[in-house]
Amino acid sequence: MSSIAVYPGSFDPLTFGHLNIAARAAHLFDELHIVVVHNPAKSPRFSSAERVELIRASLSEAGRFGTPMPSSHVSKIVIDTLDSGLLVDYCRMVGAKALLKGVRNNADLEYELPMAFVNRDLAGVETIFMPANPQNGFVSSSLVKQVADLGGSVDKYVPSAVARALAASASNRKS
Ligand code: PNS
């Protein structure tokens, strides 16, 4: 039986922190769904379609943070969106028994644990927590948006397609 995991998030936008988690998980599972989920608590900078496209364009840069994604692993990755409905229903639909979450610190764990309890309670879907790479453990999508908007370089924190998209969105917001 193949092992299928779902890696959900806002990915607004994808950072090297996210990409490193995906690359390491691609070693562990036969299929990994990176799912751009609509989070009603956040107003996204990029549309779901743009976020999917940025993820797709960035997979080849996973090696910049120590975990390259060979083509045999890239082919295990499905990039998808979930604009409404429960994540566990998506898991059921694709046959995934596990959710994957990257954890940078205690605050992440505190935020994630209630969701992990609920997802297990609702449908028996387990959550696997993977510690972030210490090199990019402080990187977040909201911080990189702020740095880019204020004219700073985000090249160390995000893949090049994301850096270009952030630069374009920063200049649109100024004009
Ligand atoms: O990157 P984020 O914004 O922290 O991701 C949060 C996300 C999208 C994973 C979370 O909001 C979520 O799981 N949404 C799916 C809706 C759902 O199933 N909710 C009920 C159980 S948590």
Query: Residue 99, Cβ neighbours under 10 Å: how many?
Result: 25
How sure is the predictor about 1, in pLDDT bands with cuts at 50, 70 and 90?
confident
Q: Does the model's pTM come out above 0.85?
A: yes
Exposure class string for 13-31: b at 16+ Cβ within 10 A, else e: bbbbbbbbbbbbbbeebeb
Between the CA of 59 and the centroid of ligand 1 the distance, in Å, is 22
- 1: which residues sit within 8 A by CB, 6+ positions away? none
Would you say the CB of residue 10 lies under 6 angstroms from ligand 1?
yes
Q: Check if the beta carbon of residue 37 is closer than 8 Å to that of residue 8.
A: yes
Closest approach atom of ligand 1 to CA 115:
22
Q: Check if the beta carbon of residue 148 is closer than 8 Å to that of residue 170.
A: yes
Q: What pLDDT does 14 receive? A: 98
Domain extent listing, the chain: 4-137
Q: Which CATH number fits domain 4-137: 3.40.50.620, 2.40.50.140, 3.30.70.870, 3.40.1690.10?
A: 3.40.50.620
Length of the chain: 175
pLDDT tens, position by position, 12-62: 999 999 999 999 999 999 999 999 999 989 999 999 999 999 999 999 999
How sure is the predictor about 88, in pLDDT bands with cuts at 50, 70 and 90?
very high
3-state secondary structure of 75: coil
Closest approach atom of ligand 1 to CA 37:
8
Would you say the CB of residue 37 lies under 6 angstroms from ligand 1?
yes
* Residue 37 zone, left/alpha/beta (φ > 0; ψ -120 to 50; rest): beta
N- to C-terminal Cα separation, the chain:
53
Q: What pLDDT does 174 receive? A: 77
Between the CA of 9 and the centroid of ligand 1 the distance, in Å, is 7
Nearest CA to 28 out of 165, 167, 130 is that of 130
Q: What pLDDT does 146 receive? A: 97
Q: Where are the alpha helices (DSSP H) in 11-81?
A: 16-28, 48-58, 71-74
Q: Is the pLDDT of residue 140 over 80?
A: yes
Please tell me the residue having the least CA distance from ligand 1 atom 6: 9
Would you say the CB of residue 23 lies under 6 angstroms from ligand 1?
no
Would you say the CB of residue 103 lies under 6 angstroms from ligand 1?
no
Q: Is the pLDDT of residue 175 over 80?
A: no
How sure is the predictor about 172, in pLDDT bands with cuts at 50, 70 and 90?
confident
Closest approach atom of ligand 1 to CA 82:
15
Give the DSSP letter string of 123-158.
H--EEEEEEPPGGGTT--HHHHHHHHHTT---TTTS
Would you say the CB of residue 116 lies under 6 angstroms from ligand 1?
no
pLDDT tens, position by position, 96-127: 999 999 999 999 999 999 999 999 999 999 99
